Structure 1
C-alpha cells in the first residue's frame, strides 16, 4: 500500500522542530508606563510590551492567550538577498522558511477562532510564504492577498532593469472562515461623474419627479452664493461640486439598465410599466431593502449609496478592495516621533487592517514590532495589544513612542482621525532566563537567577498549570482544574511529610508534587503524584537557548582550510574521545537522594 501523499512545500531542515522552553515573563516597572489619570472609561491598561526573542515570547504567551487574539499583524524580515550574501540560495530560503514556519504555527494557536492573520511581505518570499501559510492555516482559509503601494516610481530603483517595484503585499488568513469576523471598510474616492441628473422637485411624490442636469442645479446654487464665496469656490470648482453632491446625495441620480429577470415579480411589473409611461417614475416597495425606482425602463441609482462618513466627514467612498494605493504617506518619517528608515509602516495602513478585522476592546498581536506602529495604532483605536521586539529599538523607539501616545503628546498618524486624547498604559516585560543552566561540571542545575516565586511560576508553566498561589494552603501553587493542584518545593520530602500532605488534600482533590526528592513509594498515596525535577523535564525542551532569531547576515563566511588544517595531525586527539568527567555537585536537581 502506497504512502498517502499531500501537496506541501519542502525545504532543508523542515523536519527539525525547535523544542521551546515555555519561559515566564518578568515585569520591569521602570519601563512600564500609564497615564497620570483616566481620560475615559474605556482606557486600556492591560497591554503588553515584551523584549526578547519572539519565538520564545510566543511560546511564553501560549498558555494564557491561546485562542484569544482577534488580529495578528506581522511584518517579518523580507529576506532580501543581501542578508545571505555568503550563503547558497538553498540555505537562504530554507533558513527563512524554518524561521517563519515555527512562528506561524504558534500564531495559529494564539488566534481566536473568528480571528485574522495578516502577514506583510514583499515579492522575494511571497510565493513561498503563501504556500507555507496555506499548509498551516488551510488554503480554504486564505481570504485575500492585498497589494500595498508603498512608494512611487522615482529614485535609484527607477533605473534598475525590469519593472519598478513599488508594492508590498499583505497575506490575509482567517483562522476558520465560517466563523471569521470581518467589517466592511470604505475608502474616500473622487466624485463619480456618471451621476449627472438632479431631482428638481424631490419633496413631491416620486411619480411626479422631474429630472434636470446636475450642472444646471449646481449653477443655480452657485448663483445664490456671495461674491466672496464664489471667488473661494472658483479656486477648486471640482471640490465644491463634490461637496454639493455629497450634501444632496439623495437628489443626485443616474440611470442603469436592468433586465426583467434581475428583479422580483412585483418589481418587474413596475419596470414594464415604466417602459409604457416613459416620463413617469415608478416605485417598487421592498421590505427590509431599498425600494426600486424605475424610469423609462431603467433603474434610478441614488448617489446616497456611495456616501460614507470617513474620519467624521461625509464623502464619496468605495469598499476597500485588494489594491491599496491610497495610503502612501509623505510624512511617515515623522509618525510617532521616531525614525525607522526602510521599515516603518504608515499608521493608516494598520488602521485599515484593524478596522477590517477588529472591534473596540479586541486583542491585537505583533511579534515583529519594529518601531511600534501596531501598538500605537491599536492604542489610539481602543484595542488591547501585545507587541514583541528583540532589538534595542524596543527601548530607543517603541517605549518613547508609546509613552507619547499614552500621554497625549503624539499628534501624528491617525491621532486626529481617531480624536485621540491620550490615556491607558502598558506593562513592559522581559523573558526570564532559562530555568535550567549547565554548571561547570556539565550538569543541568537550577538557574541561580531564579528566586523561589520565579521557580514556582516556571514549574507551573512547564507542567501546564495556572500559576495561582493560595494564601490559605501552602501547597497550592497552581491549578489545572478546581480539584487538581500543583505544589513545588526544593525540599526532600519524607514519608511522614507526604502522609500529612495527603491528609490535608483530602479524597476529593489531587496534587502534583514537584520536589528535589522523596522517601516514599511513588504510589503510596492515591491523591498525590510525585515527580522529581529535573528527571521528568530534562528532555522536554531545549534549555538555556535565548535566541531563535534570524541572524545569518551577521555571521562571517566560513574560511577556506589551509594546507596544514587539511592534513590530519596524528598528535591531535579525536574530538569524539571520551573525557574524564568531574565529580558532580549535589544540588536541587541532584540525584543523591533516592526515591
Structure 2
C-alpha cells in the first residue's frame, strides 16, 4: 500500500451495521457498555455516527510487530504492512476522541519510534504528552543476547493539549503517615521543611532566636528561605517547629490539609505500582480457566493507573484491541462506561467470560482496591452488512434509525443522539434536518411517507416548531425549486444524495 493510500484509508472504509446479539449480552444490557466482535477498522467506522468526539480515554495495545506478526516475514514488507494497519485506525480513534480526551498506546522498540512519528502526524506534535516507561518484567533474563529488555513504552497524546488535564494519583497511606501532630496543633497533622537552603531566594541572612533564647544564623553557604517578616509571622501563628525542647534549629510546618490531595504522576512506572506481565498472565488464567492466554496481556493495575489519570467515573473509555478484555474489565469495576472491540473468536472465548465474571463480582485484579462487588452489564454486537452497496447506494433492508444516524453525521459531523423514530432528526447550527425514508410516517403511498409534499412540509414544521432553514432527504419532492426556495428548504434525494463516505 502506498503512502497516499495509507493516509486515505480511513475515508475508504465502508460503513457497516452493528448488529446486536441479545443471546450474548451480559448482565444489565441497558447500561450502554458495548462488546463488539469484528475487525476494529470497520467497527470504528460504524461507531463514528454515534460517538464522534465522545470518548474521554482511549487505550490500545496493538500488535508490536515482532517477527511473528505476519505469516511470511520480510522485514521491510512487514514494517510497511504494520504502518498501513495502524495509520487509518489512529485517524478514526482521533475522530472518536473528545476534545478534553487522551489516547494511551502501548508499544515496544520494534515500532515505538515509528509510531511516535505517525502519532505526531495524526494528533499533532503539540499534543504529545509523554512517553511513559512501564517496567513489564522485574527479573533480568540471563539468556538475553545483548541487553535484557524489561520495559514497554506507553505513548500518551491529548486531543487538544489546551483542553486536557491529567488527574493526580491518590496519596498513599505511607505518604500520609509521614504527617504527625506531636504538639496537638489544631490545624492537624504536619511535617516540616528546612528553613535554610543553598539557593538564594532573596530573603538573605538574619539572626533567628528560639523561644529558649538560642540564636541561629544560616549555616555557611546557605540562606534562609523566607524573609524575617514572613518568618516572624509564621512563628507567631505556631507554624514553626523548634523541636521538642524548643531550642532546635527551626523548621517550617507543612500541613497535610494544605498539600495537594494527590501526587503528580511520573513518566517511569515500576512494576510494584503498575503491575507486570507475569501478574497479568496469572489474572487471565484465574478468570478464563483453560482458555489459551494471550502472550502479553496487561495487568489490571496498569489499566487502573491509566484510567485514574485519564478519566473519571461515568466517562466513556474505548479499547479497539481488547485482547483478553483487561481494559473493559477495569473500566467496568471503576464505574466508567466502555466500548471494547475484539476480532475473531476471542470476543466470545476471552472477553465475554471475563466480563461476565466481573459482573458477577469476581475479586481478582484491582477489585478489592477499587471496592468492586459486581453489577452492571453490556450489549454484545457483531458487524453486519454495509450500509451502502458497491455503487454507494443505500443497501436493501437498512433501517430508518441507521440511515438517520448516517445522514446526520454526514451533514453535521457530530454523533446522532436522536431517538430515530421521527422524520425530524434535529437542529444543528441553524439548520433543521429531516429524513423521509422506509415509511417512517407509517404511510408508504406516493402522496406521503417518503415523498415531500406541501402538507407534509407543514406537518414537519408544525410538529417540530421550527420555521427556519431545513434540509429534507426523501425519495423525491412534489415541490418545485421556487416553492422550496420560498419555504427555506433544501431537498436531497435518496439514495443519490446520501453520501456513502
Change in Cα spacing, 1:411 to 1:498, as seen in structure 2 (3 Å) is closer
Match of residue 258, structure 1, among 197, 206, 209: 197
SS of 1:488 mapped into structure 2: coil
Match of residue 437, structure 2, among 469, 482, 488: 488
Alignment partner of 1:403 is 2:356: yes
Distance 2:27 2:445 in 1: 44
> 1:442-470, CA deviations, whole angstroms, 9 ceiling, x for partnerless residues?
x777655x354476457546744747567
Alignment partner of 1:67 is 2:18: no
Larger radius of gyration: 1
Alignment partner of 1:512 is 2:472: yes
Which residue is 1:417 aligned to?
369
Which residue is 1:428 aligned to?
380
Q: Is the 8 A contact 2:131 2:156 kept in 1?
A: yes
- CA-CA distance at 1:392 after TM superposition: 1.1
Q: Is the 8 A contact 1:24 1:458 kept in 2?
A: no
Alignment partner of 1:347 is 2:300: yes
Alignment partner of 1:176 is 2:160: yes
- CA-CA distance at 1:153 after TM superposition: 3.2
SS of 2:347 mapped into structure 1: helix
> 1:184-233, CA deviations, whole angstroms, 9 ceiling, x for partnerless residues?
2157598999x8x999x624899xxxxxxxxxxxxxxxxxxxxxxxxxxx
- CA-CA distance at 1:511 after TM superposition: 4.7
Which residue is 2:104 aligned to?
118
Q: Return 10-19 or 333-342, whichever deviates more.
A: 10-19
Note the 1:362-401 alignment, pairs <5 A.
362-401=315-354
Change in Cα spacing, 1:362 to 1:284, as seen in structure 2 (3 Å) is farther
Change in Cα spacing, 1:502 to 1:371, as seen in structure 2 (3 Å) is same
* Structure 2 alignment gaps of length 5 or more: 218-227, 462-466
SS of 2:382 mapped into structure 1: strand
Distance 1:347 1:278 in 2: 53
TM-score calculated relative to the size of structure 1? 0.64
State how many pairs are aligned.
454
- CA-CA distance at 1:324 after TM superposition: 1.0
Q: Is the 8 A contact 1:364 1:386 kept in 2?
A: yes
Q: Is the 8 A contact 1:249 1:307 kept in 2?
A: no
Which residue is 1:163 aligned to?
147
SS of 1:262 mapped into structure 2: coil
SS of 1:368 mapped into structure 2: coil
SS of 1:159 mapped into structure 2: coil
Distance 2:378 2:200 in 1: 58
Alignment partner of 1:277 is 2:277: no
Match of residue 202, structure 1, among 183, 186, 193: 183
Change in Cα spacing, 1:128 to 1:290, as seen in structure 2 (3 Å) is farther
Change in Cα spacing, 1:259 to 1:373, as seen in structure 2 (3 Å) is same
Distance 2:393 2:383 in 1: 19
Distance 2:344 2:23 in 1: 19
Q: Is the 8 A contact 2:208 2:215 kept in 1?
A: no
SS of 2:24 mapped into structure 1: coil
CA RMSD, 1 decimal:
4.4
